[in-house]
Chains A and B, each alone.
Chain A
Amino acid sequence: MHRFLLAVLRRDLTLAARRRGDWLIAQFFFVMVASLFPLGVGPEPEMLARIGPGVLWVAATLASLLSLSRLFADDHHDGSLEHMVLSPEPTVLLVLGKSIAHWLIYGIPVLLIAPVLGIQFNLSWDAILVLELSLLLGTPILSLLGGVGAALTLGLRGGGVLLTLLILPLYVPALIFGAGAVDGVMTGTGAEAHLSLLGAFMMLSLMIAPWIAAAALRVSLE
Chain B
Amino acid sequence: MNLYTYASPANFYHLAGKLIPWFAWGAGLLTVWGLYISFFLAPTDFQQSEAYRIIFIHVPAAWMSMFIYLVMAFWGAIGLAFNTRLSFMMARALAPTGALFTFIALWTGALWGKPMWGAWWVWDARLTSELILLFLYVGIIALWAAIDDVKRGDRAGSLLTLIGAINVPIIYFSVKWWNTLHQGSSINLTKAPSMAAIMLQGMLVMAIAAWLYTIAVALVRVRRIILERERQTDWAKAILEAE
Contact = CB atoms under 8 A, between A and B. Distances in A.
B135 interface: yes
Interface in A191-222: 197, 201, 204, 208-209, 212, 215-216, 219-220, 222
Chain B at the A interface: SS class: helix
Contact of B139 (A165, A173, A177, A222): A165
B242 interface: no
Interface string A110-152: 0000000000000000000000000000000000010010001
B130 to A, nearest CB: 12
Interface string A148-164: 10001100111100100
How many A residues touch the partner, as a band? 20 to 34
A50 to B, nearest CB: 12
A145 B166 CA distance: 12
B151 A222 contact: yes
A216 B171 contact: no
Nearest to B137: A169
B171 A169 contact: yes
B224 interface: no
Contact of B162 (A173, A204, A212): A212
12 contacts: A152-B160, A166-B140, A166-B160, A169-B136, A169-B164, A170-B163, A170-B164, A184-B181, A189-B181, A204-B170, A215-B155, A219-B155
Given A177-B174, A208-B166, 20 more contacts: A148-B160, A159-B146, A162-B143, A165-B138, A166-B139, A169-B139, A169-B167, A170-B163, A172-B132, A172-B171, A173-B174, A176-B178, A180-B178, A204-B170, A212-B162, A215-B80, A215-B155, A216-B155, A222-B151, A222-B152
